[in-house]
Structure 1
Amino acid sequence: MRFLCLHGWGINSEIFEAQTAPLRYQVGGEHTYEFVDGSFACPPLPGLEAVYGPQQECYAYFDPSNLTSILKALEDLKDYIGADGPFDGVIGYSQGAALAATLLIQDKADNPSQLHPLFKCAVFLSGGVPFDPAALARDEKRYLDPAVDGEPITIPTANIWGSNDVDFPDTSPRLSKLCTAEKRTEVVHVGGHEIPVLKGDLLADMVRALNETVELALSVQ
């Protein structure tokens, strides 16, 4: 499978690639991964410079307080997929996951039959809550709520987050509940809003979740 990989706020593709290297190595197979930087320059995440050095240029895909920025990020991502795709799956961390999920829901609304979905599967790492595409089309901003909106993400998903996420404690469980229950896998680790150190049982659990998600995606083609 060919995966599109979207980082979170305040890092970049090079860092995201390094953080996910153990997972991608252990998954193995014939998968390929394409990492794409956001176009919105922003300060690095707190503590990032101590690990990766002060020279890092960091990005985001959009400014969540700016509707125009969100709409542009969605259009930019669609254009990128149109030019460099197709991709079989998407791996998104934090804001990257929120952007991917929003685009998936928008694609489903535009193509309700889902004979050819934009992605066949998705992996959300400490995922952010997607926006309501219909509200965005009205120049409004609304975050989706599973209690109101049900399970609009119908492709297989792996949802991975930390039980000690003090920065955004509710976003990942909320995103997971927006995914169809019979096609979602959840892995909850003891870390925070981060891509944790990938080793031992946690790495094994994440590899299993990703492999199960891929296998399910391939089985429903």
Structure 2
Amino acid sequence: MRLKIQRKPRVLCLHGYRTSGEILKKMVGKWPKSVLQKLDLVFLDGPFLATGKSALEGIHDPPYYEWFHNNRDFREFYGLEECLLYIEDCMIKHGPFDGILGFSQGAVLAAALPGIQSQGAALTKVPKIKFLIIISGGKFGGIKYGLPKLATNAYSSPVQCPSLHFLGETDFQKADGVDLMNSFVDPIAIHHPKGHTVPRLDKKSEEVVLNFIQKIEKMGNQEKLINAAL
């Protein structure tokens, strides 16, 4: 009897503002092997070259990218439609993907995707997003953000997508992250003492992440059994 090898959850990873997929890969790569070996992580560069100086210049090498453009007070956004088409094309070429991981600007974008997808406004050619991992996130239309037209209904009802949220105690975006988390049904939170960064995982947070992955795997197995019975 041949054993069927179960596929790891495939995760599309969206980097922060004016950084890159390679930079996020280095940050997430500091997580324990016990977590990394459970996920198939794919790191994508944003569709637009950075339009200004990166905060990581001199720390990490360029080029740097953005997912969309915005004005200084984050009330107006540009290029979001092109961004969503770009992400959908990447998901078609390199998928199927099960979940999305996002940091900072990538987290703002990632968090809105299930709602945008469920409304039929974008990502209509790819499978439903099954889970999110949000690090230093916020939401369009949140405490200090404007609301792009495409994301108008992203949070019109509580988001059902399973979600794991990282909240830094000294993160300037913590209040936005809490506001975002409250828009989800049964969110799971990891509180850490750092600021606006991808934190290392201590034993407690490592266990939380592993339990979240286990939950996702069980959901995937249940879905397969239901589909097989149809």
Smaller-chain TM-score bracket: 0.7 to 0.9
Shift of 1:142: 5.4
Name the residue aligned to 1:170: 175
TM-score by length of 1: 0.78
1:45–1:157 Cα change, 3 Å: same
Query: 2:114 is matched with which residue: 104, 111, 124?
Result: 104
Alignment of 1:38-187 (within 5 A): 38-42=46-50, 43-46=52-55, 48-52=56-60, 55-65=61-71, 67-110=77-120, 118-130=128-140, 136-137=149-150, 149-152=156-159, 154-166=160-172, 168-181=173-186, 184-187=187-190
Larger Rg: 2
Give the Å deviation of 1:85.
1.4
Q: Which has the higher helix share?
A: 1
* 1:90-137 alpha-carbon deviations (Å, 9 max, x no partner): 1110111121222211112239xxxx95222110000131469x9624
Corresponding residue to 2:196 among 173, 193, 196 = 193
- Relative distance call for 1:209 and 1:30 in structure 2 (3 A) is closer
Structure 2 portions without partners, runs of 5+:
1-8, 224-230
CA RMSD of aligned residues (A): 2.7
Q: Is the 8 A contact 1:129 1:143 kept in 2?
A: no
TM-score (norm. length: structure 2): 0.75
User: Aligned equivalents of 2:17 and 2:111: distance in 1?
Assistant: 16
Matched positions, count: 199
The 3-state SS of whatever aligns with 1:155 is coil
Question: In structure 2, what is the Cα distance between the partners aligned to 1:205 and 1:56?
Answer: 34
How big is each residue's C-alpha offset from its partner over 1:184-213, in whole Å with a ceiling of 9 and x where there is no partner?
2101111112223x1xxx433332232222
Q: Percent identity?
A: 24
